[in-house]
Amino acid sequence: MIAVAPTELRLIDIPLREVVELVRIDLPMDQMEPLLERGVLPGCQICPVHRSPSGDPIVMVEGTLLAIRREVAKCLCVRRSGSNAA
């Protein structure tokens, strides 16, 4: 797994209703492509709004609700708004 910079977090660690910016997707292209097709792109704003009964996050991306598996959410590197990450 790729090391996370101090100002970056994984989407799985973000509490509900906190808006974050997607920095990087640490997945192989074949697993990344469905996310990209749904607008989950570096630079987009993501907000976890709910958790499924199994614990998978349901997120708001550009006005669309998406269910994302926990395993995938662990591979989405994000930063909080206002972070001065390079």
Domain regions of the chain by residue span: 8-80
**pTM of the shown model:** 0.82
Which CATH number fits the domain 8-80, given the four candidates 3.40.50.150, 3.10.450.50, 2.30.30.90, 2.60.120.10?
Answer: 2.30.30.90
Strand ranges inside 15-75, DSSP E: 20-25, 45-51, 57-61, 64-67
| Local confidence pLDDT in tens for the 86 residues of the chain | 555 555 679 999 999 999 999 999 999 999 999 999 999 999 999 999 999 999 999 999 989 999 999 999 999 999 997 644 44
**Alpha-carbon dihedral 32, 37, 43, 46, rounded to 10 degrees:** -90
